Amino acid sequence: MSKEILYSLRNVSFGYTDDEVLREIDLDIYKGELIGIIGPNGAGKTTLLRILSGYLIPQRGQVIFTGRNIREYDTRSLARYIATLPQSLEIPFSYTVEEFITMGRYPHAIKDFHYGESDREFVGDVMRLMNIESLYGRKVDTLSGGERQKVFLAQSLAQDPKVLLLDEPVSHLDIKYQMITLEVLQSLHAEGLTIIMVLHDLNLASEFCSRIIFLSRGHIHTDGTPSVTLTYKNIEEVYNTVVLVRENPLSGKPFIIPISKKYLKKSQ
pLDDT value, residue 17 = 78
Q: Does 143 score more than 70 pLDDT? A: yes
In 31-110 the beta strands, taken as DSSP E runs, fall at 34-38, 60-65, 68-69, 82-85
Range of weakest confidence among 3-7, 37-41, 103-107, 121-125: 103-107
Rg (CA), the chain: 20
Report the Cα 201 to chain-centroid distance in Å.
Answer: 13
pLDDT tens-digit map of 147-197: 888 899 999 999 999 999 999 998 878 898 899 889 999 999 999 999 999
Range of weakest confidence among 27-36, 122-131, 205-214, 215-224: 122-131
* Residues paired with residue 258 on neighbouring β-strands, in sequence order: 243
pLDDT value, residue 89 = 73
* 154, 162 contact by CB (below 8 A): no
* Residues paired with residue 22 on neighbouring β-strands, in sequence order: 14
Cα–Cα distance, 38 to 46 (Å, whole number)? 10
* 223, 215 contact by CB (below 8 A): no
Range of weakest confidence among 5-19, 28-42, 60-74, 251-265: 251-265
Ordered domains of the chain (ranges, CATH): 5-267 (3.40.50.300)
**Contacts of 204 by beta carbon, 8 Å cutoff, 6+ apart:** 170, 178, 182
Phi-psi region of 42 (alpha: psi -120 to 50; beta: other; left: phi over 0): left
Cα–Cα distance, 89 to 244 (Å, whole number)? 36
Pick 232 or 87 by higher pLDDT: 232
**Contacts of 80 by beta carbon, 8 Å cutoff, 6+ apart:** 107, 108, 159, 161
pLDDT tens-digit map of 46-100: 999 999 999 999 999 999 999 999 999 998 889 999 999 988 777 777 889 999 9
Q: Which residue type occupies 250?
A: L
